[in-house]
A and B are shown apart, each in its own frame.
Chain A
Amino acid sequence: MAISTAISPRHTVSGPVHAGGSAGPQGGASVTLRGIARAFGDKQVLRRVDLHIPAGQFVAIVGKSGCGKSTLLRLIVGLDQPTDGHITLSGVTAGEEKTAADGVRIMFQEPRLLPWERVRGNVEVGLGRDLPKAERQAVATRTLEAVGLGDRGGEWPSVLSGGQKQRVALARALASGPRLLALDEPLGALDALTRIDMQRLIEKVWSDQGFTAILVTHDVSEAIALADRILVIDQGTIAADLAVSSPRPRHRGDPELAALEGRIIDALFNDQAAGI
């Protein structure tokens, strides 16, 4: 598969993806949540969540469907407002319309590409209109190269495969050099092999660029493969906060990781049994 060619060994890429871009990587943003609660009508989705994520950390949030993990992510990036508590990003209170300005980018389960713009145009969406056009194109091309799609910039999105579309979405998110990248189950719709490719790519750009990454997933093994730290969300609270200290790159099937995976899954299901 061609995708594997895109995952070049780490030493071939030196420095940030787009050195020279005006919005270069500025390091990660730290995230602090204090007493965050969110209710939709009578349903209390999140209750008094306190959390600190240091700059540059890769955090995975796992939990069963409807546990509030996506809501937590949407609150952090400012797509939704908490009913109580407050959130700060690197000391600045998060709020509406701040996502772009604060260097926060989000990637969804769907690529959400504009079908009427070519691949490069879609990546340019991530750069805003302030940059001169020539520079936008140059940065978009470089970012596409970094995700292994350097020669597909002139294509329509509709001819790309699902994995390639998600790569374009990743390039769009990375183009402006974000300080916080929120990933809302971005690989949930991909097949197993493409998913492993994308996991490696995300890990690579994260270690190259040094942004803070928050990954929401229901795939425990994905969380373990990528994250420094895993938060298990259950019934609107953080049920477990586990550090994953294994060195990178991690190998699937590593017994230590497998044991951790078993513990997390046990935690998820024991809680469910206790909850009922």
Chain B
Amino acid sequence: MSDATLKPPAAATARTIAFPPEAALAPPVGERAPPGRIAGVSSALAGRIAGGNLIGWLVPALIVIVWEALSRIGYLQPNVLPAPSAIVAAAIRLTASGQLPESIGVSTLRALAGFVVGGGVGLALGLANGLSRLSEKLTDTSLQMVRNVPHLALIPLVILWFGIDEGAKLFLVALGVFFPMYINTLHGIRNVDPQLIEMGRIYGMKQGELFWRVILPGALPSIFVGLRYALGIMWLTLIVAETIAAESGIGHMAMQAREFLLVDVVMLSIIIYALLGKAADSIARLLERLSLQWHPAYRK
């Protein structure tokens, strides 16, 4: 908490250094000034992430403490809601037996494989349809029709097609991830400032340079929004798919535990999903901050 309360003055100082009102007021270090300033900004950024995360974890920590206390005094039945310590014990037990790491590995790999396939195709089609009217006319209507079918509604069909194989989960995750990536990429490209594109043309940029230097960086903030949506849908889809039909992975572990009334393992599975989702989002946000440093909204 004290860490967080110290932040505002530090940030304010950094700002007065980073934004001198006019050039003459800048320290006379010439070319050396900008790198130093950037280092200052990024260390302030790291400090903010740490500070923000500390506050963010405060409420979950409080819930765990209250939960543990209620379990200890016998208010919560262990066969309904086991104590956090019991869940930790289950985690240690399953880690020792190797089942937990294996399940996490299998689920993560599935999620990422589906994400790469669906996200990649979504990004590619979004770029193609954003850049080419013909491509958009050809595919966008069909895509919008498919988009209006909830992809989880396809589970029975997918099981008929793929059985409960890896293919089924890969297909569902890829389909779920595809649309947020596609729509946000397309939207990002459409919203690149046409004045900047005109400027690029006037300055003799060829198609390739125009894309890499003007269009893609301009679309990037929107692509990142799509990425973060896609990551959320990726875990959601995987959880549903693994819970309904799977022979391995976290969902399978949870369903197996249900058979034997191992509530602690079921709870553990749910928490693992939460942590994996949070980790994916944090990585996406870090990437966002690193690649959108130029954007005032991500710099501070």
Contacts and interface: CB of A to CB of B under 8 A. Distances in A.
Interface of A: 1-3, 5-6, 77, 79, 99-101, 105-106, 108, 110, 112, 114-118, 125-126, 128-129, 148-159, 161, 164, 172
Given A99-B204, A114-B214, A125-B203, A149 B23 contact: yes
B173 to A, nearest CB: 31
B180 to A, nearest CB: 23
B23 A112 contact: no
Contacts of A101: 204
A115 B213 CA distance: 11
Given A2-B24, A112-B199, A154-B33, A159 B19 contact: yes
Q: Which DSSP category, helix, strand, loop or mixed, fits chain B's interface?
A: helix
A114 B213 contact: yes
Interface string B183-217: 00000000000011011101111000100011001
A108 B195 contact: yes
A271 B153 CA distance: 70
A159 B34 CA distance: 12
Interface in B2-56: 18-19, 21-26, 28, 30-31, 33-35, 37-38
B260 interface: no
A172 B205 CA distance: 14
A65 B132 CA distance: 35
Contacts of B26: 151-152
18 contacts: A2-B21, A2-B22, A3-B22, A99-B204, A100-B203, A106-B202, A112-B195, A112-B199, A114-B214, A115-B294, A150-B30, A151-B30, A154-B31, A154-B37, A156-B294, A156-B299, A157-B294, A158-B296
A159 B18 contact: yes
Given A108-B195, A154-B38, 19 more contacts: A2-B23, A2-B24, A77-B202, A100-B203, A100-B204, A101-B204, A110-B195, A114-B196, A115-B294, A118-B34, A128-B203, A128-B204, A149-B23, A150-B30, A153-B34, A156-B293, A156-B294, A156-B299, A172-B203
Contacts of B205: 125
Contacts of B294: 115-117, 156-158
**Lowest 5 CB-CB distances: which A-B pairs, in order?**
A154-B34, A2-B22, A2-B24, A100-B204, A116-B217
Nearest to A109: B195
Q: Which DSSP category, helix, strand, loop or mixed, fits chain A's interface?
A: loop
Contacts of A159: 18-19
Contacts of A128: 203-204
Contacts of B292: 116
A128 to B, nearest CB: 6
Contacts of A105: 202
Contacts of A5: 23-24
A148 B295 contact: no
Nearest to B28: A151
Interface centre among B23, B38, B204, B220 (most CB of A within 10 A): B23
Interface residues of B, number: 37
Contacts of A112: 195-196, 198-199
Interface of B: 18-19, 21-26, 28, 30-31, 33-35, 37-38, 195-196, 198-200, 202-205, 209, 213-214, 217-218, 220, 292-296, 299
A150 B23 CA distance: 9
B213 A151 contact: no
Given A115-B295, A154-B31, A154-B33, A126 B203 contact: yes
A74 to B, nearest CB: 10
Given A115-B295, A153-B31, A1 B22 contact: yes
Nearest to B26: A151
Nearest to A152: B23
A196 to B, nearest CB: 15
A164 B196 contact: no
A169 B205 CA distance: 16
B202 A99 contact: yes
B212 to A, nearest CB: 11
Contacts of B24: 1-2, 5
Nearest to A128: B204
A2 B26 CA distance: 10
Contacts of A1: 22, 24
B12 to A, nearest CB: 16
A5 B209 CA distance: 36
B204 A79 contact: no
A151 B33 contact: yes
A110 B198 CA distance: 12
B202 A148 contact: no
Given A2-B22, A100-B203, A116-B294, A151 B217 contact: no
A45 B26 CA distance: 48
A3 B23 CA distance: 8
Contacts of B19: 159
A148 B23 contact: yes
Nearest to A99: B202
A235 B205 CA distance: 35
Contacts of A129: 209
B35 to A, nearest CB: 7
